[in-house]
Amino acid sequence: MLLGNLQHLMDWITGFLEYHNRLLAFDDVWSSLPRYLGIHVSHKSYRLLSQLPAKEMQSILMVILGVFTAVLHHKTGTQRPTGGQEQEFKKAITCVQYLTDFALLSQYRSHTDSTIRYMRQYLKQFHANKNMFI
């Protein structure tokens, strides 16, 4: 389940960034992530990774929202977003947030009615928002 969630998320992010000419900036930010205790992220460009151990997949889910946000909010030397792009970028960040929250919750060993309700909510909100970009 973790691999499927991560692959879906990263395919969507890659397509979105490619459309907005920010894929190279994403690779730059990704490869410059500092090492943190308990976070295992390869410093290769994400697109060059072929196999990911489970620990690294979990770490990616913990940092991807910050990397994605930095790339979209002109923290990388890319062109400043236009007014229309700014709104679209905010919605895209929200989509990434919903899917990462869903994926992180799905890793719990057991679930309650509340966690299942949250997961449904996150997935529903992700799909509602992502359809705006198709």
**How far, CA to CA in Å, does 25 sit from each of 28, 57, 67, 72, 104?**
5, 21, 10, 9, 25
* pLDDT above 60: residue 134: no
80-86 mean pLDDT: 77
For the stretch 103-129, pLDDT in tens is 888 878 898 999 899 888 888 887 777
Determine the pLDDT at residue 32. 79
Tokens found for residue 93: 């960040």
In sequence order, which residues have a C-beta less than 8 Å from that of residue 125 and are 6 or more positions away? 94, 98
65 pLDDT higher than 80:
yes
Q: Looking at residue 1, what is its pLDDT? A: 65
Provide the pLDDT for residue 113. Answer: 92
| Each residue's pLDDT tens digit, 30-52 | 887 777 756 666 666 655 555 66
